[in-house]
Structure 1
Amino acid sequence: MDVSPDTTAPTIVNGINLHGLFALIDDVKRDPAKGKTNWHVITTWQGQTRSRAEVESYELGGEKVPRQFSIDIDEPRELGGSNNFANPQEHLIAALNACMTVGYVAQCAVRGITLESLSIETDGDIDLRGFLGIDPAVPPGYEKLSYTVRINGSGTKEQFAEVHEAVMATSPNFNNLSRAVALEAVLIVE
């Protein structure tokens, strides 16, 4: 009986441990409950237009995984803020870009495509007449976000086009922003 330790190094592509990723995929295929996640953020007002979002944990497959992060948010001076941090709209776009970035990196990794560079540039317009309540016919948020992906690596144009389609089909934040998401509100006055 061979009792020597397993010295096989994990296969890493674009910083992604493929053994771990494929193990997660297999676990979720065998037991869909292992793929259930819950994300929780508490945001508290910090004065003026500043707020702080706190992340303490998330759940994966019914198990709580501790995490400690703070995200500070503000508004530009012109919109009543102190301009110390990115505003909610910038965080929303950053969250979309970051989520899609993970998708491109992972989709390339599982296909054996080594990335040399990747950037996503996103912008959108908000008409303040909606947010300020000046014109109820004007939506208070984005009506459209436009983004450009610049990607370079060992893949062909066809492979990168396939990766691009896969990211749009599987990115949680692409999905969250490209379709209506039901919001259930509860107001507690203390």
Structure 2
Amino acid sequence: MSTTPVARNGVDTPALLATVDAIKGTPELAKFQFRAVNQWVSGTHSRTAIQGFYGAGQEDTSRAEPFLLDADHPPVLVGDGNGPTPAEYLLHAIASCLTAGLATLASINGISLTRVTSTVEGDIDLLGLLGLSDQVRNGYQAIRVQFVIEGDAAPEELRALVEQTRARSSVYDVLTNGVSVDIDVSTV
């Protein structure tokens, strides 16, 4: 019986395991820096370009064109609805991070997935955001993620994969443990 890892769920498992081995041998390869450049368009509308990043000991230049992401507020919040709100991007970030982790862990564990859907809901009270109450926080009061998963593993194994994914998710970590954010301002 072969124990050679194979690509599964669209994840190149042999390449992933080779990356893990390379990082074990050279821990400096684990240091990554992702970057985004945002520019104000008008009103509450802004556009972010994401292209290069530093990782695996070098600058990555594989993206020929930047990914462009528009953010705006809906008209009820004085925007024009040119894109999701920044807070909605956080919901996308947690959903996509957990989903990527789930697919990767399933592949490593030899589990084939046939369906993964997540619904993410976040509750915000504008009293905090608008400075109308010092008793209400500015951001989400709660975020809920509901997964629907189908695959060739028992339900308890799929639930365990989600728990492993949660424990390793960088976005979950930042949302639940916080991270320092330094802000510098230059004027011209």
Secondary structure, counterpart of 2:95 in structure 1: helix
Residue type of the alignment partner of 2:143: L
Secondary structure, counterpart of 2:153 in structure 1: coil
Secondary structure, counterpart of 1:177 in structure 2: helix
For 1:7, the equivalent position in structure 2 comes to none
For 2:21, the equivalent position in structure 1 comes to 26
2:168 to 167, 170, 186: 170
**Distance in 1 between residues matched to 2:21 and 2:96, nearest whole Å:** 25
Residue type of the alignment partner of 2:123: D
Q: Which runs of structure 1 show a deviation greater than 2 angstroms over 4 or more consecutive aligned residues?
A: none
For 1:54, the equivalent position in structure 2 comes to 49
**Distance in 2 between residues matched to 1:33 and 1:156, nearest whole Å:** 38
- Give the superposed CA RMSD: 1.2
Alignment of 1:1-190 (within 5 A): 11-66=6-61, 67=63, 68-190=66-188
Residue type of the alignment partner of 1:20: A
**Which ranges of structure 1 fall in alignment gaps of 5 or more residues?**
1-9
Shift of 1:76: 0.5
Q: Percent identity?
A: 28
**Distance in 2 between residues matched to 1:59 and 1:119, nearest whole Å:** 31
User: Rg larger in 1 or in 2?
Assistant: 1
Secondary structure, counterpart of 2:144 in structure 1: strand
Shift of 1:115: 0.5
TM-score in terms of structure 1 length = 0.91
**Distance in 1 between residues matched to 2:178 and 2:67, nearest whole Å:** 28
**Distance in 2 between residues matched to 1:165 and 1:130, nearest whole Å:** 31
**Distance in 1 between residues matched to 2:44 and 2:125, nearest whole Å:** 19
TM-score in terms of structure 2 length = 0.92
